[in-house]
Amino acid sequence: TRSGSGAMGGSASLIPRELLGEYQELTFLSKQEILLAYKRFSELLPKEERDNAWSARVPKSQILTLPELRANPFQHRICHVFSTSEAGDDSMSFEDFLDMLSVFSDSATSDIKSHYAFRIFDFDDDGTLDRKDLEQLVNCLTGQGEESRLSSAEMEQLIQNILEESDIDRDGTINLSEFQHVVSRSPDF
């Protein structure tokens, strides 16, 4: 074993310096937050891959073990939207991971947050929120249990209300700018 590069710091936990500066410019995260993110990311990797965590990919199953995502009803969509995996397996590189943390950080602008929220809610990735997307969205929020599920009449009424509120051009779907308009009127979003 190489002395001095244990899990507590050492050479294993270093991001190449030029990347660190770049990450600060490209995200809403501070240097400290980026270093902490790197530590958390590398801990999701098998020990033998940790030395080069900045060039490794973490499988979706590992990303989903993070406490922030474990209880999130949109965990699968979040992995999907932030993953740049060519294989389409929703695995994450360190840069994907940073993007995700950056968007969810308090410093991210509401425009950025709403843009990603829109993509997460767009379950079929077609660039609009249609009735089907809205139904899945509501199901995610109310939980899948029998007792918490809405009846089809309640669901219909709710989707009607959402479209009434948001679908400005009345085409039966919500596009990004309509979504951002609604969000801009709800400050606690």
125 Rama sector, left if φ>0, alpha if ψ -120 to 50, beta otherwise: left
Of the candidates 57, 174, 42, which has an alpha carbon nearest to the alpha carbon of residue 117?
A: 174
Residues 167, 154: Cα–Cα separation, whole Å: 19
Phi, psi of 129 (to 5 degrees): -100, 110
Q: What does the pLDDT look like over 127-158, one tens digit per residue?
A: 999 999 999 999 999 886 777 788 999 999 99
Is there a shared CATH topology between the 19-104 domain and the 110-185 domain? Answer: yes
Q: What does the pLDDT look like over 17-32, one tens digit per residue?
A: 899 999 999 999 999 9
Domain 19-104 - what CATH class? mainly alpha
CB proximity list for 167: less than 8 A, separation 6 or greater:
173, 174, 178
Residues 2, 13: Cα–Cα separation, whole Å: 14
CATH number of 110-185: 1.10.238.10
- pTM of the prediction? 0.88
For the chain, domain boundaries: 19-104, 110-185
Q: What does the pLDDT look like over 19-66, one tens digit per residue?
A: 999 999 999 999 999 999 999 999 999 999 998 898 999 999 999 999
Q: What does the pLDDT look like over 99-133, one tens digit per residue?
A: 999 999 999 999 999 999 999 999 999 999 999 99
Res 13: pLDDT: 56
Residues 132, 39: Cα–Cα separation, whole Å: 39
Q: What does the pLDDT look like over 165-179, one tens digit per residue?
A: 999 999 999 999 999
Of the candidates 127, 132, 131, which has an alpha carbon nearest to the alpha carbon of residue 163?
A: 131
